[in-house]
Amino acid sequence: MKLISCCWKPFDGNADAGREGREGLLWFRDLGRYAGGDFSMAVIQANQVLEDQSQIESGPFGTFVGVYDGHGGPDAARYVCDHLFRNFRDISSGAQGMTCDTIRRAFLTTEDGFTSLVSELWTTRPHLATVGSCCLVGVICQQTLYVASLGDSRVVLGKKVGNTGGIAAIQLSNEHNANLEPVRQELKELHPNDPQIVVLKHGVWRVKGIIQVSRSIGDLYMKHAKYNREPINAKFRISEPMNKPILTATPSIVTHPLHPNDSFLIFASDGLWEHLSNEKAVEIVQSHPHAGSAKRLIKAALQEAARKREMRYSDLRRIDKKVRRHFHDDITVIVLFLNHDLISRGSIQGPPLSIRCALEH
């Protein structure tokens, strides 16, 4: 079974609509066209091996956006990028069509596939049981936005406020990070007999003192007792019996009927939101041309990361991958601009789009 695929170049009938390029550890697509308008996309690498993956797919079904923030290695995020949309497409093409349950089934089918892969490779690559990925998916179908999330990536809507010229930042996704009190409460209710279900270590809340997110694809050492044993690294092993899964791959799903005042959507891994507020990100996109929006957001986050460390942005840019992780995470940003004339037509205009980050691993 194939585990890893390289990111491939886009199949895009509008390939000349905007510049695609590299600046050191940064890959960007300044401007492109999807079924519902313009998009901008960018990725910055900080880890030795890029752990983020991302994709945009547009076709007769509508538009699918995925941001996959891996941890413990790149394998789970790559697997999700290879399989989640394919599973969604296959399930949504059935009699049920496009529903919240369609998305939920696609997530769980992807989880089952990755679980089978880990089982198959357990004797030769047991560390795969400790690899996982957050997943943030947006689907635009019939003038409705569906948002599904595992972990702590985020989508924020930029919405025009009446006729004032102002714009509001509205977070649409739910996050599953133990640093949030509602998430800790949820875990305590699910595991009432485990006083160590969340542990504060060095000022950071972690599930079982190990991992910050409570939902993910992968992380099977936190879901199945048969993977929480040697030969995985001792730091992942839990001493007490695991009677039921601690983490889950069932996503939070919200629906948002698109309104003419909805201007754009910012999908990003948590590396962006560590340094920019929702309001600041929306302000940056709103106050500049569409082209280069995603790259502009990443550069603003890096400038803030440099400021926090009392260093110049130009000096931060010279730091190579791996060491760079001490200053910021891998960051993925996709900005979708919403053209409601196109979206209201309900069917794809022009050729289909399929694009993934083209940054080298």
At residue 4, the pLDDT reads 34
Whether residue 350 is predicted with pLDDT greater than 70 in this model: the reply is no
At residue 1, the pLDDT reads 38
The overall average pLDDT reported for the chain is 92
Closest alpha carbon to 356 in 36, 66, 46:
66
At residue 10, the pLDDT reads 42
CA distance 81 to 259: 29
Give CA separation, 141 vs 57, 252, 334, in Å.
12, 18, 18
At residue 165, the pLDDT reads 81
Confidence of residue 8 (pLDDT cuts 50, 70, 90): very low
Confidence of residue 15 (pLDDT cuts 50, 70, 90): very low
Instruction: State phi, psi for 170 to the nearest 5 degrees.
Output: -125, 115
Q: What helix, strand, coil percent values describe the chain, rounded to 5? A: 30, 30, 40
- Could you give the percent of the chain with pLDDT greater than 70? 93
Is the Cβ–Cβ distance between 328 and 270 less than 8 Å?
A: no
Kindly report the CA angle at 232 between 211 and 75, in degrees rounded to 5? 65
At residue 67, the pLDDT reads 98
| Alpha helices in the chain, H assignment, sequence order | 75-92, 100-120, 181-190, 270-273, 278-286, 293-308, 313-317, 340-345
Strand partners, 266: 156, 335
pLDDT digits (tens, 9 = 90+) for 167-206: 999 999 999 999 999 999 999 999 999 999 999 999 999 9
Whether residue 18 is predicted with pLDDT greater than 80 in this model: the reply is no
Closest alpha carbon to 118 in 215, 214, 221, 210:
221
Give CA separation, 349 vs 11, 123, 138, 333, in Å.
15, 49, 19, 24
Whether residue 57 is predicted with pLDDT greater than 60 in this model: the reply is yes
At residue 358, the pLDDT reads 63
At residue 186, the pLDDT reads 97
pLDDT digits (tens, 9 = 90+) for 93-131: 887 789 999 999 999 999 999 999 999 999 999 999 999
Which tokens go with 312?
A: 């110049």
Confidence of residue 349 (pLDDT cuts 50, 70, 90): low
At residue 70, the pLDDT reads 97
Roughly how many angstroms between the first and final C-alpha of the chain, as a whole number?
20
Residue with the bigger pLDDT between 162 and 297: it is 297
At residue 93, the pLDDT reads 87
User: For the stretch 59-94, what's the b/e string if a residue is b when 16 or more beta carbons lie within 10 angstroms of its beta carbon?
Assistant: eebbbbbbbbbbbbbbbbbbbbbbbbbebbeebbee
| Mean pLDDT calculated for residue range 123-149 | 97
| Mean pLDDT calculated for residue range 70-92 | 96
The pTM of this model reads 0.93
Strands of the 26-34 sheet, one edge to the other: 20-23, 26-34, 37-44, 331-337, 262-268, 154-161, 166-171
pLDDT digits (tens, 9 = 90+) for 232-249: 999 999 988 899 999 999
CA distance 122 to 132: 15
Whether residue 32 is predicted with pLDDT greater than 90 in this model: the reply is yes
Is the Cβ–Cβ distance between 100 and 93 less than 8 Å?
A: no
- Mean pLDDT check: name the lowest of 101-105, 247-251, 255-259, 347-351: 347-351
Peptide linkage before 231 cis (omega within 30 of 0): yes
